Amino acid sequence: MERRIDFTRERQMLCGRCDHRWRVELDWIDRWEQGQETCPGCGVTCEQEDAPRVTVDPDDPALNDDRVSILFWYHTSTQPDWPTRDFDPAAVLTPETRMMMGGEQRVSAWTAYQRAKALHVGTFESAVHNMLRRIRDQGDQHSQFYLYRVRLKPSVVVRERWLVDPSNFAGDVVLDEVCPPGVDVARYLNYHEDPGGLSLALGRGAIATVQRIAVPLPDVWDGGWVRDAVTALKGVSGAVVPATGKLARFKRPSSPRAVLGREFGASLVDRLPVNLRDQFVLAAEFAEGEEPEQWARRTSGLFGLMDDPNRVLAALDRQDPREV
């Protein structure tokens, strides 16, 4: 069952001080985080420990235990075979890295911890948000990402009620800590990607099948924008020029082509939800020496993930499910 995808939908806020609950737009949350808004109930600001936070929408279909297993869930990863059948996190470690980690005993303990971590799936919006966050925070700008649509096994046992986001500072969740014996899936309020949406922590055994596509899609969303960008970028020099002026020593050298590329990328930003704009700017950044058409098509494709999700869903529909 597919849920309505809406990156700009209103969110629910709940004040930890006065228990006032109300709906807000993403622009309100952006102003709130800058200290420009207060709780309508008690006037508390974002600086307070018990300040309002985004919370789960009572109309979220994933609150219904019986619907969790029939909803589609999503995940983005740079792994082409997620979730990997024989996951060995130590396989990529060099002998030097193993020595730096403290030897084979420490490596074995680290491997066991990695295997004990829960998998994460969530809304379509959270999967795209996660990809943009990884590009921004983990240097994956030129990595190939894959979008997975996940179907759960009908027999999964869902933990009662939802949890506040249990992730640690690295985003990890130990599966046994949220899914005790007899429980396969735990719902949690996602604060970081698609704030206010429910995501799932689960083990590999809870997944029945996945469908996968490479993202962004190779076909262009806005051919006119791509043609204009390519023509303009090819018309200016790609030679790097040292910065000038009083603050030149604090600026990195850049080419006129890269500067123009950033301007074209910025022209799309205002059409995106405010909570995705910073991530998109970095994901769409024009790199020195990059081929204009390749950059323009990739940038248009990234934008299209949020602007027209139905095309993405149609591409997933054409993929055969893979049993996990």
Q: What is the pLDDT of residue 156?
A: 96
Segment 220-255, tens digit of pLDDT? 778 899 999 999 999 988 888 776 666 556 667 788
Residue 320 and residue 245: Cα distance in Å, rounded? Answer: 57
Chain centre to alpha carbon of residue 67: 23
User: Which amino acid belongs to residue 124?
Assistant: F
Give yes or no for residue 107 having a pLDDT over 70.
no
> Is residue 260 a contact partner of residue 232, using CB atoms and an 8 Å limit?
yes
pLDDT band at 287 (very low <50, low <70, confident <90, very high): confident
Its pTM stands at 0.89
Please give the residue that has the higher pLDDT: either 221 or 290.
Answer: 290
Q: Which residue has the higher pLDDT, 143 or 209?
A: 209
Q: How confident is the model at residue 289 (pLDDT cuts 50, 70, 90)?
A: confident
| Average pLDDT score over residue span 132-161 | 90
Q: Tokens standing for 285?
A: 């950044």
Work out the average pLDDT over 311-316: 95
Measure the CA–CA gap between 256 and 253, rounded to whole angstroms.
Answer: 10
| Range in 57-71, 99-113, 294-308 the model is least confident about | 99-113
Give the mean model confidence (pLDDT) for residues 251-279: 88
Question: Is residue 40 scored above 60 in pLDDT?
Answer: yes
Mean pLDDT of the chain: 89
SS (H, E, C) 269-300: HCCCCHHHHHHHHHHCCCCCCCCHHHHHHHHH
Residue 260 and residue 234 in contact, taking contact as beta carbons nearer than 8 Å:
no
pLDDT in tens, 180-210: 999 999 999 999 899 999 999 999 999 999 9
| Residue 235 C-alpha from the chain's centroid | 35
How does pLDDT run across 66-76, given as a tens digit for each residue?
Answer: 999 999 999 99
Which one, of 42, 60, 36, lies nearest residue 196 by Cα?
60
Give the residue among 254, 264, 185 at the shortest CA–CA distance from 222.
Answer: 264
Whole-number pLDDT of residue 170: 66
Q: How many CB atoms lie within 10 A of CB 240?
A: 14
**Residue 151 forms beta bridges with which residues?**
209
